[in-house]
Amino acid sequence: MSEQRMPVRRTAKLFIGGEFPRSESGRSYEVHAHDGRLLAWAARASRKDLRDAVRAARAAQADWGGRTASNRGQILYRVAELMEGRRGQFEQELTDAGAVDPVRGVSAAIDRWVWYAGWADKVHQVLGATNPVAGPYFNFTIPEPTGVVGIVAPEDQALLGLVSRLAPAIVSGNAAVVLASENAPLPAVTLTEVIATSDVPGGVINMLTGFTRELVPWLAGHMDVNAIDITGVPEDMRADVEVQSAENVKRVVRADGADIFSPAAQSPYLVTALMEFKTVWHPMGA
């Protein structure tokens, strides 16, 4: 066995409806390491792929939102179990992307995922309420998932940055369409491979790799997306995204710039920012 063994290279594909299709446009683009090496060709998603992803998300959302909170929490915990098992691959991809401390980044991403998994069946207790209205009525406020959330992942911190936006979005029962970091998409792709094998129903999380500037307007203007996370949207595009979002009154959220490794970057309020509060009245009378 003195000859060198050729490794089998990975093909990076889109993740839509629980499956891994290539872009319907047949396009792809080169992904380079921070030192210029060619790492892979990633699919270059088109507006039609985005359309399909939103459709898949909508189709999956009712079931996902209808599951018990405990079930969602356990499924997210399972994702963390499998991330831990794949940490070597994640660390390598972060190294290629130029991360200063890939081990720390991967550990933080896994721990953050576990942190959010634990919120699934608690957010209602901390942020829901029964309201003591002045009358013989039982009145309660419950948070519910908003529906389909579009997430433009941050360019840097390719894994932790993505996890910090994705986990709080889906733990409450939303389905997500994610535009991965354009320059460092591979950790996102690996994450979808983890997700595909950890009991997350198909369509709950969808991931598109490609050119951010090309895809963002289609996401921002899509009438069947309920909320959009603009964390990774280039500065000069942000105002326009907000204008587009007005068409169907999308909720617009973004990361606030806190140090991503700090506890300030995780919060149950990021969960409820993508939820709707419903208040119900019922008379109390014999």
- Residues contributing to the site for other proteins (CB under 8 A): 69-70, 73-74, 77, 111, 114-115, 117-122, 125-126, 136, 138, 268, 282-286
**69 or 196, CB closer to other proteins?**
69
Would you say 206 and 51 are in contact if contact means Cβ atoms under 8 Å apart?
Answer: no
Minimum distance of other proteins from residue 3's CB (angstroms)? 43
Minimum distance of other proteins from residue 280's CB (angstroms)? 11
Would you say 54 and 61 are in contact if contact means Cβ atoms under 8 Å apart?
Answer: no
Would you say 56 and 14 are in contact if contact means Cβ atoms under 8 Å apart?
Answer: no
Minimum distance of other proteins from residue 60's CB (angstroms)? 19
| Residue tagged 């369409």 (tokens) | 177
**277 or 281, CB closer to other proteins?**
281
Distance (Å, whole) CA 49 – CA 47 = 5
Distance (Å, whole) CA 165 – CA 10 = 26
Minimum distance of other proteins from residue 106's CB (angstroms)? 15
**114 or 241, CB closer to other proteins?**
114
Minimum distance of other proteins from residue 74's CB (angstroms)? 6
**15 or 119, CB closer to other proteins?**
119
Minimum distance of other proteins from residue 266's CB (angstroms)? 10
Q: What share of the chain is helix, strand, coil (3-state, %, to 5)?
A: 45, 20, 40
Q: In terms of residues, how long is the chain?
A: 286
Q: Residue 42's closest CA among 209, 188, 243, 264? A: 209
What is the signed CA dihedral for 231, 232, 236, 241, rounded to 10 degrees?
-70
Minimum distance of other proteins from residue 121's CB (angstroms)? 5
For residue 237, how many other CB atoms are within 10 A of its CB? 17
**73 or 145, CB closer to other proteins?**
73
**25 or 74, CB closer to other proteins?**
74
**88 or 132, CB closer to other proteins?**
132
Which residues, 6+ apart, have CB-to-CB distance to 33 below 8 Å? Answer: 39, 96, 97, 98
> Which two tokens mark 76?
């997210």
